[in-house]
Chains A and B, each alone.
Chain A
Amino acid sequence: MLASLTTLLVFQLAGEVVPRGLGLPVPGPVLGMLFLFVALVLRGGPGHELKTTSQNLLQHLSLLFVPAGTGIMIHLHRVADEWLPLLLSLLISTAATLVVTALVMKLCMRGQTAPGEAP
């Protein structure tokens, strides 16, 4: 648990430091994920401990969004003033994103069947 949590933090730190040093606008945690992914490919997979820790952390991923979500308190005024454009924008845009992403992928997969997979 301790070792694998340290591993995650070290990769996050690397992800934060490298783009700052190079002046790139890439977000740290995402780059950290990429670094860890490359390390896993090189090492041939995660150890048992790292696997368990990440499963525990990801099992309650939604918990981690609760503090930021509660921040709606301090924006109640703006939300009340502009609720209609906000609501329509979020609803329509989120639905459109789901549909566009899924249909574009489906279109690209037509005629392309992965080896050994049912179409």
Chain B
Amino acid sequence: MTPQLNEIWVYLSASPLLGLTVTLLAYQAAFWLYRRSGMNPLANPVLIAVTILVLLLTLTATSYETYFAGAQFVHFLLGPATVALAIPLYMQFRRVRTMLVPVLAGLVAGSLTAALSAIAIARLFGASLPTQLSLAPKSVTTPIAMGIAERIGGIPSLTAVLVIVTGILGAVGARYIFDAIKLRDPAIRGFAIGVAAHGIGTARAFQVSEQAGAFAALAMGLNGALTALLLPLVLNWR
């Protein structure tokens, strides 16, 4: 780099503007690819955007902390977006009301399966205890999962990553799994994807149908609350 360019780079890399801008650019590139693929679940926009950003930050030797100083403005919006899920939920409330028993039964079964099977499998294949505990809240949306990890002795920032990977896996794989077990009801598909794959699954469900999205949002909220209450209790029994 010429001295002048170098100076500009030093200034920019220290300012939050760059982290914020590259996040938006990477996501838009990823979303463009996703659209071009006909919204194919395999071209998940979060997966593509994260890959672009990790490559970019590694190539420019930028630390995650520096990047996050800018990206935190996007990260912050997770809170209000979670609150906003009340609106699609309200719109679908009539359908939800007729399905109260299946919804609650599915929630408890799914919530326990998500946490306990993750711990059991990780333990079976020799993961360390902090890793096992970081995996436990993997199906819960990021801000809640990090809080749970902290309380049960996991590593919150590792949990954040595992949550995102879980969301991507769920959003990518759900369609194939549901088709394989011949499950068609958009309400059930949406709810199951919300329990297993939180906000990323919910985002995918909204792209498929409004009804699936609303049920996914409901599932994500309920599972976040239930796991936050249950998991510390269940793990204390050991």
* Distance between Cα atoms of A27 and B43 in the complex (Å): 31
- Contact of A101 with B85 in the complex, beta carbons under 8 Å: no
Q: B86-110 interface mask toward A, CB cutoff 8 Å, 1 = contact, 0 = none? A: 1111100101001101110111011
- Contact of B199 with A64 in the complex, beta carbons under 8 Å: yes
- Contact of B199 with A46 in the complex, beta carbons under 8 Å: no
Nearest B residue to A45, CB-CB: B90
| Interface of B (DSSP majority class) | helix
**Total inter-chain residue pairs, C-beta < 8 Å:** 320
| Interface of A (DSSP majority class) | helix
Q: Please judge, given known A-B contacts A32-B83, A90-B169, A98-B170, whether A66 and B106 are in contact too, CB under 8 Å.
A: no
Q: Which residues of A approach B to under 8 Å, CB–CB?
A: 5, 8-9, 11-12, 15, 25-34, 36-37, 40-41, 45-46, 50-51, 53-55, 57-75, 78-79, 82, 84-86, 88-109, 112, 114-115, 117
Q: Which residues of B approach A to under 8 Å, CB–CB?
A: 23-24, 26-27, 31, 44-46, 49-50, 53-54, 57-58, 64, 67-68, 71-72, 74-75, 77-90, 93, 95, 98-99, 101-103, 105-107, 109-110, 113-114, 117-119, 121-122, 124-128, 131, 135, 138-139, 142-144, 147, 151, 157-158, 160-170, 173-174, 177-178, 181, 183, 185, 188-189, 191-193, 195-197, 199-200, 202-204, 206, 213, 219, 221, 224-225, 228-229, 232
